[in-house]
Amino acid sequence: MSDTLLEVRGLQKFFPITRGFFQTVVGHVRAVDGVDFILKEGETLGLVGESGCGKTTASRCILRAIDPTGGQILYRTRDGRTVDLATLPPAELLPLRAEIQMIFQDPFGSLNPRMSEPLLVNGMKNRRERADRVAELLRLVGLRPEFMHRFPHAFSGGQRQRIGIARALATNPRLVVADEPVSALDVSIQAQVLNLLLELQQRLKLTFLFVAHDLSVVRHISDRIAVMYVGQLVELAPTSEIFRQPQHPYTAALMRAVPVADPRVRTADGILSGEVPSPAAPPSGCYFHPRCRHATARCRAEAPALREVAPGHFSRCHFAGEMTF
């Protein structure tokens, strides 16, 4: 597809479990276990799931912050080439770093507390040019240019996250991976930052992979949503379809857990109970069956495949399309 910017095929990331004096490998944590999705140019894909589901690990594999165990990460470069980021040698990967950037969850932790100018543009050696570019980026994210002379501790959480966004944009990227970029912010500030990201996407023609645990947040910004559970995608669909009719019981339970600003609405029924299974020892059959109120003997014995149950709507459930969750 000509409009496909990123295609992830069978992405895996396993971490070895070692034991004993000689650190013998006795097993693996299957943090990401066969993830597939396509990210189209100019869209936002929300990657959602509980803590420990593998969404951050998957995003860091895409960035090659960590090396994947298997699979392909096919990226269409600015000059039209398609390269596999999963196997690209470091020397060939380095020039592409400017095209793929990240917005971190903790803006304060990602800034150097000893530097008043955390934004440095690749290839800009001239100090004056660099200062002009920093001023331009600060204006772009709604901050005053003179802020470049302040240290990180002088900013509020929302301002620090705007600086983090500006830094991610410094190299004119095409793809931005946002890892829980608003989870540490107050609700009112969250809305401001999300609106800023939407505005920047339109102005700069950006593509976002937006990682979050909150469905209400990704609903505001995402064109499509991919739901992860124990290292696997369990549902992938346009945002409107996900919220109109979820086709996996895990997605439906996440939606019921979203707070509703109406005391008359009861949300307790169907909310998830129990803990996320360990990716080092996942359950047999469907990974979700120990927490699923619809589980049958088939679910406990047979692992479902991710299949298309409606145009553009994929689910990893034996009964998707047959029942309402």
**pLDDT recorded at residue 155:** 81
CA-to-CA dists, residue 97 to 13, 70, 71, 121, 195, angstroms: 21, 21, 20, 12, 26
Question: Which of 230, 212, 247, 235 has its CA nearest to residue 291?
Answer: 230
**pLDDT recorded at residue 263:** 55
**pLDDT recorded at residue 188:** 81
> Crossing angle of helices 127-140/157-169, nearest 10°?
120
- CA atoms of 2 and 26, how far apart (whole Å): 44
**pLDDT recorded at residue 119:** 45
**pLDDT recorded at residue 9:** 97
8 A C-beta contact, residue 138 and residue 178: no
- CA atoms of 290 and 296, how far apart (whole Å): 10
Task: Point out the least confidently predicted range of 15-19, 90-94, 116-120, 142-146.
Answer: 116-120
Note the pLDDT tens digit of each residue in 20-30.
888 888 889 99
Greater model confidence, 51 or 31: 31
Residue 155 per-residue DSSP state: S
8 A C-beta contact, residue 196 and residue 142: yes
Query: What 3-state class would DSSP assign to 26?
Result: strand
Residue 260 per-residue DSSP state: -
8 A C-beta contact, residue 78 and residue 98: no
Note the pLDDT tens digit of each residue in 142-175.
888 887 777 777 788 788 889 889 989 988 999 9
Question: Which of 69, 45, 36 has its CA nearest to residue 234?
Answer: 36
**pLDDT of 271 strictly over 50:** yes
- CA atoms of 23 and 302, how far apart (whole Å): 34
- Residue 202 token pair: 């339109």
Classified by CATH at the fold level, domain 4-17+29-99+173-259+266-315 comes out as Rossmann fold (3.40.50)
Instruction: Identify the bridge partners of residue 295 per DSSP, sorted by sequence position.
Output: none
Average pLDDT of the chain is: 87
Task: Point out the least confidently predicted range of 4-18, 78-92, 98-112, 165-179.
Answer: 98-112
Note the pLDDT tens digit of each residue in 283-295.
999 999 999 989 9
Q: In the chain, where are the structural domains located?
A: 4-17+29-99+173-259+266-315, 113-170
- CA atoms of 191 and 196, how far apart (whole Å): 9
**pLDDT recorded at residue 1:** 45
Residue labelled with tokens 């406990």: 300
**pLDDT recorded at residue 185:** 79
- CA atoms of 10 and 13, how far apart (whole Å): 10
**pLDDT of 83 strictly over 90:** yes
Query: What 3-state class would DSSP assign to 261?
Result: coil
Question: Which of 210, 212, 205 has its CA nearest to residue 177?
Answer: 210
8 A C-beta contact, residue 178 and residue 104: no
**pLDDT of 118 strictly over 50:** no
- CA atoms of 132 and 123, how far apart (whole Å): 14
8 A C-beta contact, residue 63 and residue 240: no
Residue 121's pLDDT band (cuts 50, 70, 90): very low
- Residue 225 token pair: 């949503």
202-215 burial by CB neighbour count: b if 16+ within 10 A, else e?
eeeebbbbbbbbbb
**pLDDT of 261 strictly over 60:** no
